[in-house]
Structure 1
Amino acid sequence: MNTFIAIVIIFGLLVFIHEWGHLIFAKRAGILCREFAIGFGPKIFSFKRNETTYTIRLLPLGGFVRMAGEDPEMIQIKPGYEVGLKFNIRDQVTDIIVNNKSKHPDCKVIQVEKIDLEDDLFVQGYVPDEEGLVTFDVHEQANYIYDEEATQIAPRDRQFPSKTIPQRAMAIFAGPMMNFLLAVIILAAYAMMAGMPVDEARVGDVTDDGVAIQAGLEEGDRIVSIDGENVSTWEEMTGIIQGSANEPLLFEVERGNETFEVEMVPDERLGPEDEVQGVVGIYPPTEFSILGSIAFGFTTTWDYTVLIVEALGMLVTGQFSLDHLAGPVGIYSYTGEVAAMGFFVLMQWAAILSVNLGIINLLPLPALDGGRLMFIGLEAVRGKPVDPQKEGLVHFIGFALLMLLMLVVTWNDINKFFL
């Protein structure tokens, strides 16, 4: 249950921040955002505020922001259609009742001859018992009413394609950008609460069951040398320890004004690549600083970014196989293991996942944010946009391939963890 709660909180936060980035910058550009959704599939909960419907959907596999102009309008009114109109005090159309007009006895019924809800915003047609064509102005925030559900119209200047290239690019890039920013905030908060690691050959704390506590080491002890080799940094010290599993090492330790020697035999454990490493059961020293914590957030986010990009490069070059990838099942399992290690480790894991989500979405692949940015960049070079139908087909094929990859990775996860 703890794993499930951790997954819901972490993934909910990552997806929310990502989509919130899209939403905020799209709205700043003046784009009508019809829906902000967490998850896919049937709606579980929804409410509307400031033109946007906020929804939680059944399948927690991501989210989306539905911007006007990205997809064809679901409701189209053609000449000959009979619709009902409602007006404001300025005689502007505020509601266009597409069907079920009998439920709106106060509406004015009109047989449409001509309608423009993108540029000039008017509807023209014939009203029963009145002669000649009648033209009505349509309010820029008028609604279609279809099956008693309101959908706001999207004038051309509120649609995604009408915006400048920088505005559209920023609305797309903002999602991954917010994931990187979230990682910075999480890591900075971690450093403020748990302290920042200090690169000194000093004992920050000792584990309850390691050889260090058995040898009498205490918090604050400084390691001067190991087997006669002077060490001054945490990296130098741990490098010797990790390479000496089950081998006796003589430590020269400084405690206050005293110096003494103690022998320890590092226990062995498996490292990240399943290699054997030596451990003695000590934590690195830490310090607390607000400015330092902020700097730690940025530098560690950058380090995570470099590591993930390098791993993706090895995947492309064949140094990694698909077996190294983890899908939803694998991430669920890993999150359970991390959650058992404590809250601070879980914070670091959440930051890694956030960076990973940002990087993956920036890959120049169809259906991802990077693929959409690629088409916007191509438009900037060509001086004209790619045909929307062709771009849509490319994104559809890309999405199908991504789903196929997800199935393969999930099957590998199931084999690794359950079979």
Structure 2
Amino acid sequence: MNTFISIIIIFGLLVFIHELGHLLFAKRAGILCREFAIGFGPKIFSFKKSETVYTIRLLPLGGFVRMAGEDPEMIQIKPGYEIGLLFNSSGKVRKLIINNKSKHPDCKVIQVEKIDLERELFVTGYVSEDEGLVTYPIDEKAEYVHDEQATQIAPYDRQFGSKTLPQRAMALFAGPMMNFILAIVILMLYAWFAGMPVNEALVGDVTEDGVAIQAGLESGDRIISIAGQQVTTWEEMTTIIQSNPNEPLLFEIERGGERFEVSMTPQERIGPEEQVDGVVGIFPMTEKSFLGAVTFGFTQTYEFTVLIFEALGMLITGQFTLDHLAGPVGIYSYTDEVAAMGFLVLMQWTAILSVNLGIINLLPLPALDGGRLLFLGVEAVRGKPIDPQKEGLVHFIGFALLMLLMLVVTWNDINKFFL
């Protein structure tokens, strides 16, 4: 149960921050954002603030920001339709009643002859035979009401496609960008709470089962030399220790201004790539500083980014296979292991997932932010946009293939962890 709650919180945070980036920069560009959703499928909670409906949906596998102009309008009013009109104090149409006009007895019924909801914002039609053809201006924030559900109209200058290329690119790039920012902030907080290792040959703590505690080492001890070699940094010290597993070494220690010597034999530990390293059971001294935490946040995010790109490169070259990929089931299992290690380790894991989400979304694949940015790049080169129907088809096929990949990876996870 704790793992399930952790997964919901982590994924909810990652998706929320990602979609918040899209929302903030889309609104900043003046794009009408109809919905901000966490999850897919049926709505389980929603509320409306200003122009946007905020929803939580049943399947917590992602989210979206529905921007005006990205999809065709669901309701189209054509000549010959009879609609009801409600007006604001300025005499402009504030609501267009598509059906159920009987529920709005104060509306003015008009048979549409011509209507423009995008550029000139007007409706022309026949109210009665006596009045003949009349024209009414439409408010830029007017709503059309269908089955008692109100939807704000989207004038062209509020649509995604009306904005400049940089504005549209930024609205798309902002999601992944926010994931990188989240990772930096999480790692900064981690460094602040856990402290930053001091790059000196100082003992911060000793393990209960290591040879260091058996030799009498204590927190605060400074290691002066090992086997006659002077050491001043933590890296110099650990290099000698790791290079001499099962070899007795003479350590010169300074404590309280006095020096003494102890002999310790580093124990074996299996390191990366099955390499045998020596360990004595000590941890570095740590310190807390704002500047150090900020530096750690940026450097660790960069290192995680490099590692993920290296893994993607190995996947492309065939060094990794689909069996090495983890889907929702695999991430759940790994999160279970990480959560057992404590909150601070879980913070690092969340940062890694956030960087991973940002990178994956920037890949030039259809249906992802990177794929849409690629189309904007092609538009910049051509000097005109690609046919929206063709682009939509590419994204649809890409989304279907991504879902297929997700099913394959999930099946591999189930076989790996449960069968």
TM over 0.5: yes
Distance 1:43 1:274, change over 3 A: farther
Distance 2:49 2:404 in 1: 36
1:254-293 matches, cutoff 5 A: 254-271=254-271, 273=273, 276-293=276-293
**Matches of residues 242-257 of structure 1 in structure 2 within 5 Å?**
242-245=242-245, 248-257=248-257
Equivalence map 1:53-68=2 (5 Å):
53-68=53-68
Q: Residue in 1 aligned with 2:12?
A: 12
Give 1:240-389 correspondences, 5 Å limit: 240-245=240-245, 248-271=248-271, 273=273, 276-389=276-389
Correspondences of 1:219-230 after superposition (within 5 Å):
219-230=219-230
Q: Tell me if 1:107 matches 2:107.
A: yes
Q: 1:279 to 1:10 in 2, by over 3 A?
A: farther
Question: Whole-Å Cα distance in 2 between the matches of residues 10 and 266 of structure 1?
Answer: 39
Equivalent position SS for 1:220: coil
- Local SS of the residue matching 1:366: coil
Give yes or no for the alignment of 1:136 onto 2:136. yes
Deviation at 1:133, TM superposition (A): 1.1
Aligned equivalent of 2:163: 163
Moved beyond 6 Å, runs of 4+: none
The total of aligned residue pairs comes to 419
For residues 102 and 316 of structure 1, the distance between their equivalents in structure 2, rounded to whole angstroms, comes to 62
SS in 1 for 2:253: strand
Which deviates more from structure 2 when the two are superposed, residues 297-306 or residues 87-96?
297-306
Q: Which residue of 2 aligns with 1:94?
A: 94
Stretches of structure 2 that go unaligned for 5 or more consecutive residues are: none
Deviation at 1:22, TM superposition (A): 0.5
Cα–Cα, structure 1 residues 67 and 369, in superposed 2: closer, same or farther, change >3 Å?
same
Q: Distance in 1 between matches of 2:91 and 2:103?
A: 21
Give 1:411 deviation, angstroms: 1.6
Q: Say if 2:126 is the partner of 1:120.
A: no
* TM-score normalised per structure 1: 0.94
After TM superposition, the score normalised by the length of structure 2 is: 0.94
Deviations 1:250-275 (A, max 9, x none): 44333232333334444455545565
User: Structure 1 stretches of 5 or more lacking a match?
Assistant: none
Distance 1:226-1:174 versus aligned 2 partners, 3 A rule: same
- Give the secondary structure class of the aligned counterpart of 2:135: strand
Q: Please tell me the residue identity of whatever aligns with 1:151.
A: T
Structure 1 residues 106, 244: closer, same or farther in 2, change over 3 A? farther
Q: What is aligned with 1:215?
A: 215
Deviations 1:375-405 (A, max 9, x none): 1111111100011111111111111111111
Which amino acid in the other structure matches residue 307 of structure 1? L
| Mapping of residues 183-194 of structure 1, within 5 Å | 183-194=183-194
Residue of structure 1 in register with 2:392 after alignment: 392
The letter for the 1-side match of 2:152 is Q
Following TM superposition, by how much is the alpha carbon of 1:64 offset from its aligned partner in structure 2, in angstroms? Answer: 0.6
Moved more, 394-403 or 199-208: 199-208
- CA–CA separation in structure 2 for the residues paired with 1:322 and 1:258: 58
Percent identical residues: 79
